[in-house]
Chains A and B, each alone.
Chain A
Amino acid sequence: MDINYTAILPEIMLSLVGICIMLLIPFVPRERQTHLGYLALAGIVLAFFGVAMGWGQTDLAFSEMIFQDDFGQFSKIFFLFVSTVILLISMNYLEQEKLFQGEFFVLLLFATVGMLFMATSADLIMTFLGLEVLSISTYILAGFKERERKSSEAAWKYFLLGAFSTAFLLYGIAFVYGATGSTKYLQIAEAIQASPDYSLILFVGLGLMMVGFGFKVALAPFHAWTPDVYEGAPIPITALLAVASKGAALLALVRILYQVFPDLSQQWQAILWPMAVMTMAIGNIAALTQSNIKRMLAYSSIAHAGYLLVGLTAHNPLATQGILFYLVAYAFMTLGALIVVQIVGRREEQHTTIEDYNGIGYRYPFLGIALSVFLISLAGIPATAGFMGKLFVFSAAVQSQMYGLVVIALVTSAIGLYYYLRVIVSMYMGEFKTEKIPITISMPLRIILTLLVLGTLYLGILPGSLLNLAEEAASF
């Protein structure tokens, strides 16, 4: 049998480099282990080449386990981009926290492999494997500051609840298998089409799977772990969970709902609709009262998952396109905001309350402008990526005539304005306190931040190029 390796070339490269680093760790002195990050970076660059080599090919590879299509390629580039940023900021972070452990990079690479598999999988078992690879790596990463209580607490909470929810997912897969006799996406879809009188088992299976994914995407009512874990985890890992892990689960869900269960759309829309409303409402309202900026961003990420869910519920071509665009926009602004949080947090993340941002805008104009742009974008104000993302996602929902949902989404985003503005208020309208440790911005972080700011504005003013890509990717 002919095996099409190009379908998983990036995953192979990331895994190989990850294993290499693991083997090298004993031979590198501890203080130098952050340099292993460059090797991991090389691995990601190789993975980019891997994506390029499979560019434009479509295939159902590895005995119908892996899709090789535009959607997959788009997602792969997205995840590799996010991993690159997270890798670069975590090198800085580990240096600053004196956490000289190369394992960090290995786990990051493996987590990336998991994400890539989730976005390209064509089989529920494969999706589950991808999710597990991603989850187990992130469980460890969340508790990486082992001496700190909050970090360990975050890891434990995430692990226990996560393991519980994956059990739901697996149980769901078993039910779907029982109802349709297959775990392969296309065969399940065929089986559903062939016998339109759906059995209860199928619904139960779908429902249980939604619980599993709902946990990973942090949708209400399965979001309770998010604030604690995001707050306790090291900031680069918060970014990983908020952007990459959420994105991977969401893209897997897009594929499963749109490709496997399109015939059941009425049923899953009925589940997603209230979930979207709850997610947006809880995320935005709970964020209002937060005094810790990491926690606030955690709730804001829940709210944004809700907006994405609005698109998912819409179920039309514009929706897929909108979700992909929104995800990229969301990645830009959330990564950017978290990088600023890391810089301002300084050693041991001591400065993460909103009051710590008082007067920062004048003392550190660069950070002030950058964070303002990200927050304005998160709030969905025009000329930024966040506005365009909302525009596309909500247009999709209007196209599917879900006016109620759109109005609720708009009302909740109006609530959201308040807490984003609050940070800007304290940055520019608060009194600057003298600081014990001055803020330093390393060159790589400065460059990344500049690029993210420019990207956020570029996508807000000229979203056409990315939207075209998303349009191609949206046709499964």
Chain B
Amino acid sequence: MFGTELQLTLLLLIPGFGALVIAFVPSRKIHLLRGTSLFFTSLTFLYSLLFFTHFDPGAETMQFVQKVPWLNVGVLHIHYHVGMDGISLFLVILTTFLMPLTILASWGIEKKVRPYMFFMLLLEVGMIGVFVSLDLILFYIFWEITLIPMYFLIGVWGGKRRVYAAVKFFIYTMAGSLLMLAAILTLYFFNEAQNFDLVEITQRLSLNQIILPFPVELLLFLAFFLAFAVKVPIFPFHTWLPDAHVEAPTAASVILAGVMLKMGTYGLLRFCLPMFPSASAALAPAISLLAIVGIIYGALVALVQTDVKKLVAYSSVSHMGFVVLGIFAFNLQSIEGATFQMLSHGLSTGALFLLVGMLYDRRHTHLIQDFGGLAHVMPRLAAFFMFIMLSSIGLPGLNGFVGEFLILQGTFLEHAGRAAFAASGIVLSAIYMLWVYQRVFMGAVQNDQNRTLTDLNFRETVILVPIVLLVVWMGLHPSTFLRRMDTSVQKVVDRIEQVREPQIYRVEYRGH
């Protein structure tokens, strides 16, 4: 099948077929259900690696494209149009990579295993779909589809306040994205070619074949931005995140932090910047300010948390602030850094949630005060935690460093002040991370309940080892990833430069 038009569709079909199979496995056969899900998610991962090896880093256009008309009635033309470039490639692989690990991490789910696994696979279809859709309506459909499984995963298998968290998550994200739908429709009727094709619309916009008056562009940008800002989440739209994360089961937290937050930043990069460059440039200072506030605020709030899971959740707000900052600095380093940071945050935070989940499985608590001295009891877990924590803080040689360094470097070239403020977030992240590590793992064992805890078992080690390997790889040899992003990111940068250049000239001219 590879090499044909259907290659990307097949990537969506494998987990989709898996979900269908799950629906027919008897609900009592828990092991069969787990095995089937693991099989299909692993198969999807292995298959997605083919895209990595076949990817042409130099290609200017989308790759692995399939485009067929889906709806062609009257004035409405919707296409099934999928493809990949250097930005989406790794996000897809991140998704397929994390899925088998989260399935393995869901071994503790004992009740209602069948719907659980079904929703996990459905979620995978939706997430891959978001990253590969090149038609605005198709994108919107996948975007919304991801909400339903996540809503159920939080609401049914979550913690005590799960229903509240699930509904809040759903309403926030849905309300954000509905305005995006209005913007998509408006854009459609400004486009004389009358289609929802992202590639074509971007091209026609850059050739001035579609002319958006600036106020219209600004409104459309804001509508898209709002949808993505809720998802990322950018301060002050982040309030759903701590609730959702704390209540969600481990696997859902991992996917939420690892992949679904990236859908927001991916959207900014894929839709907001190329389609509305003038508005992006005009609002960049304000958005960067929000990003910096998010970085510092997230870190400060994380600092005072008494709940480990909430701490990791707020650290996400902080780390995702870096990504947004990088995207809105508009140069190659910063955007590439942002894309890289999406991946490394996906790995590190995903792993942190996995580790916190493993702690919870043993102690049934997230409260820092209940732990202490765990390194004596669970040396392996402590070691893994230390390693991932260092990657999250941004220790050179590990993945977190590369992304944050590139972002800060790129931002510094444009606005030294922004970079300086943002850099304080890194210091803060070191403080809260090391402090929580100290309180959870160091010292003597205070609580008797902690003395009998068992260390990581084989399954849990299998979950963590691939992440650790990838963390090192990304840290030591980032060019494996950056090389493949170059062309695609450069295209986004060029698009912004196209509208920014005249302004710079004008400034220089006045200067003389």
Contacts and interface: CB of A to CB of B under 8 A. Distances in A.
Interface of A: 317-318, 321, 362, 376, 381-383, 387, 391-392, 394-395, 398-399, 401, 403, 406-407, 410-411, 413-414, 417-418, 421-422, 425, 428-429, 463-464, 467-468, 471
Contacts of B162: 429
A318 B76 contact: yes
Looking at A382, A418, A464, the one whose CB has the most chain B CB atoms below 10 A away is: A382
B137 interface: yes
Contacts of A383: 141, 145
Contact of B189 (A362, A399, A413): A399
Nearest to B70: A464
19 contacts: A318-B76, A382-B142, A382-B144, A382-B145, A394-B182, A394-B185, A398-B189, A401-B189, A406-B182, A410-B178, A410-B181, A410-B182, A414-B171, A417-B170, A417-B171, A429-B162, A464-B70, A464-B73, A471-B73
Contacts of B73: 321, 464, 467-468, 471
Nearest to B76: A395
B145 A414 contact: no
Contacts of B144: 381-382, 387
A414 B172 CA distance: 9
Interface residues of B, number: 36
Contacts of B185: 391, 394-395, 398, 406
B148 A381 contact: yes
Contacts, number: 94
Contacts of B76: 318, 392, 395, 467
B159 to A, nearest CB: 12
Given A382-B140, A417-B170, A425-B163, A407 B152 contact: no
A425 B181 contact: no
Given A381-B148, A429-B162, 20 more contacts: A317-B75, A318-B75, A382-B140, A382-B142, A383-B145, A410-B179, A410-B182, A414-B178, A417-B174, A421-B151, A421-B167, A425-B167, A429-B155, A464-B70, A464-B71, A464-B72, A467-B71, A467-B73, A467-B74, A471-B73
Contacts of B179: 407, 410
Contacts of B151: 421
A381 B142 CA distance: 10
Nearest to A407: B182
Interface in B307-336: none
A317 B74 contact: yes
B112 interface: yes
Nearest to A381: B144
A414 B156 contact: no
B30 to A, nearest CB: 16
A471 B72 CA distance: 11
Contacts of A410: 178-179, 181-182
A396 to B, nearest CB: 9
A471 B75 CA distance: 10
A282 B171 CA distance: 19
A381 B74 CA distance: 23
A411 B176 CA distance: 10
Interface in B184-235: 185-186, 188-189
Interface centre among A318, A413, A417 (most CB of B within 10 A): A417
B32 interface: no
Given A362-B112, A394-B182, A410-B181, A418 B171 contact: yes
A127 B188 CA distance: 38
A413 B162 CA distance: 24
B158 to A, nearest CB: 9
Interface in B348-389: none
B347 interface: no
A437 to B, nearest CB: 26
Contacts of B178: 410-411, 413-414
Contacts of B171: 414, 417-418, 421
A463 B142 CA distance: 16
A403 B148 contact: no
B112 to A, nearest CB: 7
A417 B181 CA distance: 15
Contacts of A391: 137, 181, 185
Top 3 A-B pairs, shortest CB-CB distance:
A382-B141, A410-B178, A398-B185
B198 to A, nearest CB: 17
Given A417-B171, A429-B156, A395 B71 contact: no
A146 B73 CA distance: 48
A383 B71 CA distance: 13
Interface centre among B76, B112, B171, B188 (most CB of A within 10 A): B76
Contacts of A398: 182, 185-186, 188-189
A315 to B, nearest CB: 15
Contacts of B163: 425, 429
A406 B174 CA distance: 16
A421 B155 CA distance: 11
A330 to B, nearest CB: 19
B79 to A, nearest CB: 12
A276 B463 CA distance: 54
A353 to B, nearest CB: 18
A471 B182 contact: no
Contacts of B182: 394, 398, 403, 406-407, 410
B282 interface: no
A381 B178 CA distance: 10
A413 B174 CA distance: 10
B4 to A, nearest CB: 23
B175 interface: yes
A131 to B, nearest CB: 30
A463 B145 CA distance: 17
Contacts of B166: 425, 429
Nearest to A368: B115
B147 interface: yes
Contact of B155 (A321, A417, A428): A428
